[in-house]
């Protein structure tokens, strides 16, 4: 039985200090699928102090010991992967096929990747007349979002455990149940008490308590830019390390030599990944003026192939948005696109035909979108694509970079040299060429207001380590 109303602190499931419950809603049915307790600063303090006590010994564990813990977590995760996928479908609406093949699987990958990096990582080496040593940073507060409820947990938690840190996790209160399943797996792995702690709650109470706690050495946050700014402000008085993966408004530049129709179709589906609730989605499609009409027709045809419906159906391609609040936000932005003069190619406001419950949105495409429109500037976080036109390559790059965000970029072309020149000029933490797959061994993070620091692979591993110089020692 899932201990969803308890917190996992110091190696045990414990009752919260206060009893305040929150129902977890299935966004496809608008019915409750469970409930959690909302924590307080007192719960956070209890978890942080458990992590602080555990750090003294866990930071000294060997590479082999930590590999053993990771391997047991990986084994437990694999056994429960179908259950985890089903839970994510219920709590945040991702279609079950996507939950299984992407949501759950990529979360597992982060533990596998952390073990791979740990196995051969060089923690100490000679440098000049001394040595350099990498050591775990300490107690880490992890604050994660609802759109990839375990992927973002795994991308933070796995390297923290691998490097010898201890953790207090606050999953999103909108989609927390899959993280509770992971906590059960970790409990069964034999990880020492206090190394991993979980406290549910909202941002203003639990999130802020973690970010400001004097015994937390690092905060890793994924979410909106506005919330990221607040986290950084709260962390500043104690000079914590702050790693952030924030918003995005990624541009997909389709150069004139590309196969326009296939590039547009691929771009539509990439934009709608995870129902469009994806921080790096290519939501701005840039096409040459001469290809505007062709792009519009290709996009309209692509939308017609998308099956919207019950996320429990393996054939469903697009499920609901996560909540009423998110639904209302996306509806408002779609209406703003209409009001500001963009051409509605497909979709629009309201729910899809025949849908009378759940937070389903029509997959939407706008053309003739220009800078200054809200749909060109704001992160929508829904299945809404904006097609923008350019005259020259310089203009395309200028449009792509004309945003406070810089998480990802995309370039489509048959000329790899030209595409690389464009990619080098894009202000983004990642640039994909011709639909290259998402590689979680490579660093992920953004320029500008898309955050700081990097996750995944070796770069994500190093975020949880301090650097110490050793001088004058005989073995240095």
What lies within 8 Å, CB to CB, of 77 at 6+ separation is 84, 107, 108, 111, 182, 185
245 is catalytic: yes
What DSSP line would sit under 312-346, residue for residue?
TSTT-SB---S-HHHHHHHHHHHHHHHHTT-EEEE
> Among the options 279, 379, 455, 463, which is catalytic?
279
Crossing angle for the helix pair 151-163 and 63-79, to the nearest 10 degrees: 160
Reading the chain (476 residues) residue by residue, the pLDDT tens digits are 466 999 999 999 999 999 999 999 999 999 999 999 999 999 999 999 999 999 999 999 999 999 999 999 999 999 999 999 999 999 999 999 999 999 999 999 999 999 999 999 999 999 999 999 999 999 999 999 999 999 999 999 999 999 999 999 999 999 999 999 999 999 999 999 999 999 999 999 999 999 999 999 999 999 999 999 999 999 999 999 999 999 999 999 999 999 999 999 999 999 999 999 999 999 999 999 999 999 999 999 999 999 999 999 999 999 999 999 999 999 999 999 999 999 999 999 999 998 999 999 999 999 999 999 999 999 999 999 999 999 999 999 999 999 999 999 999 999 999 999 999 999 999 999 999 998 889 999 999 999 999 999 999 999 999 999 999 998 75
Q: What is the 3-state secondary structure (H, E, C) of 348-413?
A: CCCCCCCCCCCCCCCCEEEECCCCCCHHHHCCCCCCEEEEEEECCHHHHHHHHHCCCCCCEEEEEC
Number of residues that this document lists for the chain: 476
Stated as kind and residue range, the H or E segment containing 242 is strand 241-245
CATH architecture of 7-246+450-470: 3-Layer(aba) Sandwich (3.40)
pTM score? 0.96
Predicted local confidence at residue 3, as pLDDT = 64
- The class level of CATH for 251-439 reads alpha beta
Domain 251-439 in the same topology as domain 7-246+450-470: no
- The structural domains of the chain, with segments of one domain joined by +, span 7-246+450-470, 251-439
CA 75 to chain centre: 23
Which residue has tokens 């692979």?
A: 457
Task: Give the helix ranges, DSSP H, for 168-323.
Answer: 177-188, 208-212, 225-235, 260-271, 292-304
- Cα gap 149→447, rounded to integer Å: 23
DSSP three-state, residue 450: helix
- Structural Rg of the chain based on CA atoms: 23
3-class secondary structure, 280? coil
Q: Which of 25, 112, 113, 245 is catalytic?
A: 245
Rounded Cα–Cα distance for residues 259 and 346 (Å)? 22
Nearest to 248 by CA among 212, 278, 205: 278
């Amino acid at each position: 039985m899932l201990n969803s109303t308890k917190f996992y602190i110091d190696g045990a499931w414990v009752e919260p200090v206060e009893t305040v419950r929150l129902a977890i809603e299935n966004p496809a049915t608008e019915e409750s699928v469970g409930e959690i307790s909302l924590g307080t600063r007192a719960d956070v303090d209890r978890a942080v102090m458990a992590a602080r006590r555990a750090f003294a010994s866990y930071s000294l564990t060997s590479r082999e010991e930590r590999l053993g813990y990771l391997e047991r977590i990986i084994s437990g995760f694999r056994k429960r992967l179908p259950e985890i996928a089903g839970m994510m479908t219920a709590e945040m609406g991702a279609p079950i096929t996507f939950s299984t093949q992407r949501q759950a699987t990529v979360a597992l990958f982060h533990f596998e990747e952390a073990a791979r990096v740990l196995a051969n990582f060089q923690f100490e080496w000679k440098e000049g007349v001394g040595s350099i040593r990498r050591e775990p940073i300490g107690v880490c507060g992890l604050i994660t979002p609802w759109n990839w409820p375990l992927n973002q947990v795994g991308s933070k938690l796995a390297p923290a455990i691998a490097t010898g840190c201890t953790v207090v996790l606050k999953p999103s209160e909108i989609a927390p149940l899959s993280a509770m399943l992971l906590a059960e797996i970790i409990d069964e792995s034999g990880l020492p008490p206090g190394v991993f702690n979980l406290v549910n709650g909202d941002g203003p109470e639990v999130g802020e308590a973690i970010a400001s706690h004097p015994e937390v050495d690092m905060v890793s946050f994924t979410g909106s830019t506005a919330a990221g700014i607040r986290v950084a402000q709260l962390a500043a008085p104690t000079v914590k390390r702050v790693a952030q993966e924030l918003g995005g408004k990624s541009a997909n530049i389709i150069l004139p030599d590309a196969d326009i129709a296939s590039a547009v179709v691929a771009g539509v589906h990439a934009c709608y990944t995870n129902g469009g609730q994806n921080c790096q989605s290519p939501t701005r499609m840039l096409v040459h003026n001469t290809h505007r009409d062709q792009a519009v027709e290709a996009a309209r045809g692509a939308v017609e192939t998308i099956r919207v419906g019950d996320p429990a159906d393996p054939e469903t391609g697009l499920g609901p948005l996560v909540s009423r609040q998110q639904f209302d936000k996306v509806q408002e932005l779609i209406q703003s696109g209409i009001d500001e003069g963009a051409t509605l190619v497909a979709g629009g406001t309201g729910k899809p035909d025949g849908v009378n419950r759940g937070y389903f949105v029509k997959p939407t495409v706008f053309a003739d979108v220009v800078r200054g429109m809200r749909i060109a500037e704001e992160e929508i976080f829904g299945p809404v694509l904006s097609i923008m036109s350019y005259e020259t390559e310089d203009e395309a790059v200028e449009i792509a970079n004309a945003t406070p965000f810089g998480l990802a970029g995309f370039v489509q072309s048959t000329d790899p040299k030209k595409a690389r020149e464009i990619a080098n000029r894009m202000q983004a933490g990642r640039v994909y060429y011709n639909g290259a797959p998402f590689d979680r061994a490579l660093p992920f993070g953004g320029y500008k207001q898309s955050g700081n620091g990097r996750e995944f692979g070796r770069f994500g591993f190093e975020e949880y380590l301090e650097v110490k110089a050793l001088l004058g020692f005989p073995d240095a």
